[in-house]
Amino acid sequence: MIDFSLPDDLVALRDGVTRFIRDEVMPYESDPRQEFHGPTDDLRCELVAKAKQAGLLSPHGPVEWGGLGLNHVGMAVVFEAAGYSTLGPLALNIQAPDEGNTNLLHNVASQAQKERWLAPLVAGEVRSVFAMTEPDGGAGSDPSLMRTEARPDGDDYIINGRKWLITGMEGASFQILMARTFDQQGNDLGATMFMMDNDTPGIEIVRVLNTIDSNSPGGHAEVAYTDVRVPASQILGEAGKGFRYAQVRLTPARMTHCMRWLGAAVRCHDIATDYARQRQAFGKPIGEHEGVGFMLAENETDLHFCRLAIWQASWLLDQGEQARNETSMCKVRCSEALSAVVDRSLQVLGGRGITGDTVVERIYRDIRAFRIYDGPSEVHRWALARNIMKRN
């Protein structure tokens, strides 16, 4: 029955996260250990240790592996609070792709796999990678173009191919790799997910890409796979079900992007609002000029509407629904509306906005990727349209 109130324990947790972010994390935002490609792992470890001490690490992680076991609505509330700082998700261990990988392993991995890879991931001891996208006409928005191949060799598979835009690769411990898989007879079984330690022979970082964003430790890499040997026991779930599992991972993962970016956009709006109150021009605070004030009003409205839609889709996931359309609508609209909030906030700041003197400049660059990853807006609109046309 319609209710927009939050349970007391969630409010308490959110407030704890808010305080932690403000008091413990935000002071690190000017820490020099944030390099061109992203924060260093040294900085990450320091932040993770603080979150662990505060009892706030891995709010999304399964309780049996040491997480707080939040449901999706809980995540919506807590991830927004964490996203308020550019370093908040890193501190709480809820950064992509680790957060989505945690969810995927929890749902699909064997017990042995969980012990080996999920446990240290939830503990914040290691970082992980999700290797699906390919360069040069390979898998992207259209995953059917996948070129990386896994071919059987006794009880092992031999993997060859190349991946691209692999977030966090440099410094990560293990990866989940998608490859087109063949059986002994050479039949194409479809895509399969493989668990692999990153020091497996034949895995090589070709380069770390220069990208507009810089919020992921390790940046985004191009990775070559040359005769990488993986035992069949490292298949995640079953062979040939890679795309199905990708959906298991991507649907909630696109929601957690929305949640974190909502927090980041709120931060920008707060910074812009403070500035609009203090900065005078033409005889009054600039926020009292409608040209600026209306931008603040639009920001507030976008934030409000996005938050409600995030909560609703999260609630649907908590009910066991697939929520394909609702999560697609969230992805498209939140990525566009929250980007607009950040853009307006930067505009309100004027000259200061284009400098690193506030985090708005950083968030403006980082959020640009949000309209592209996990399905660009165009792919989600296409999927929505297809479903609308089919519905009876």
196-255: contacts with a second copy (CB under 8 A): 209-213, 220
The residue with tokens 């006794």 is 154
Pairing outcome for strands 220-231 and 203-209: antiparallel
Rounded least distance, CB 153 to a second copy, Å: 31
Q: Which stretch binds a second copy (CB under 8 A): 124-132, 186-194, 223-231, 328-336?
A: 328-336
Contact code string over 111-150 relative to a second copy, x by CB under 8 A? ----------------------x---x--xxx--x-----
Residue 357 CB: number of other CB atoms within 10 A? 11
Q: Interface with a second copy includes 361 (CB under 8 A)? A: yes
Rounded least distance, CB 22 to a second copy, Å: 16
**Which C-beta is closer to a second copy: that of 233 or that of 355?**
355
Among residues 305, 320, 338, 345, the one that binds a second copy under rule CB under 8 A: 305
* Burial 376-390, CB ≥16 within 10 A → b, else e: bbebbeebeeeeeee
Measured N-to-C along each axis, helices 324-349 and 360-367 cross at an angle, to the nearest 10 degrees, of: 140
Cβ atoms of residues 99 and 256 within 8 Å = yes
Rounded least distance, CB 376 to a second copy, Å: 6
Rounded least distance, CB 252 to a second copy, Å: 16
| Residues ≥6 apart with Cβ < 8 Å to 392 | none
**Which C-beta is closer to a second copy: that of 4 or that of 155?**
4
Among residues 154, 231, 277, 322, the one that binds a second copy under rule CB under 8 A: 277
**Which C-beta is closer to a second copy: that of 118 or that of 346?**
346
Rounded Cα distance between 16 and 50, Å, is 13
Among residues 102, 346, 358, 374, the one that binds a second copy under rule CB under 8 A: 346
Q: Which of residues 366-385 bind a second copy (CB under 8 A)?
A: 368-369, 371-373, 376-378, 380-382, 384-385
Output the six-digit token pair for 65: 């592996």
279-286's contacts with Cβ under 8 Å and 24+ in sequence apart are 279/350, 286/348
Tell me, what amino acid is at 46?
Answer: E
Q: Which of residues 67-86 bind a second copy (CB under 8 A)?
A: 73
Q: Which stretch binds a second copy (CB under 8 A): 51-59, 110-118, 151-159, 278-286?
A: 278-286
Q: Interface with a second copy includes 5 (CB under 8 A)? A: yes
Among residues 164, 174, 194, 261, the one that binds a second copy under rule CB under 8 A: 164
**Which C-beta is closer to a second copy: that of 230 or that of 348?**
348
Around 322, how many Cα atoms within 13 Å sit in the side-chain half-sphere?
5
Report whether the peptide linkage leading into residue 285 is cis, meaning its omega lies within 30 degrees of zero.
no
**Which C-beta is closer to a second copy: that of 24 or that of 326?**
326
Q: What is residue 87's three-state secondary structure?
A: coil
Among residues 149, 293, 324, 340, the one that binds a second copy under rule CB under 8 A: 293
| Residues ≥6 apart with Cβ < 8 Å to 96 | 89, 167, 216, 253, 256, 257
**Which C-beta is closer to a second copy: that of 24 or that of 170?**
170
**Which C-beta is closer to a second copy: that of 19 or that of 277?**
277
In 3D space, the residue among 323, 334, 168 whose CA is nearest the CA of residue 247 turns out to be 323
Phi, psi of 319 (to 5 degrees): -80, 0
**Which C-beta is closer to a second copy: that of 24 or that of 134?**
134
Rounded least distance, CB 83 to a second copy, Å: 19
Q: Which of residues 10-69 bind a second copy (CB under 8 A)?
A: none
Rounded least distance, CB 337 to a second copy, Å: 9
* Burial 170-199, CB ≥16 within 10 A → b, else e: bbbebbbbbbbbbeeeeeebbbbbbbbebe
**Which C-beta is closer to a second copy: that of 156 or that of 288?**
288
| Residues ≥6 apart with Cβ < 8 Å to 320 | none
**Which C-beta is closer to a second copy: that of 93 or that of 358?**
358
Q: Interface with a second copy includes 168 (CB under 8 A)? A: no
Rounded least distance, CB 60 to a second copy, Å: 17
| Residues ≥6 apart with Cβ < 8 Å to 341 | 265, 268, 269, 298, 299, 302, 303
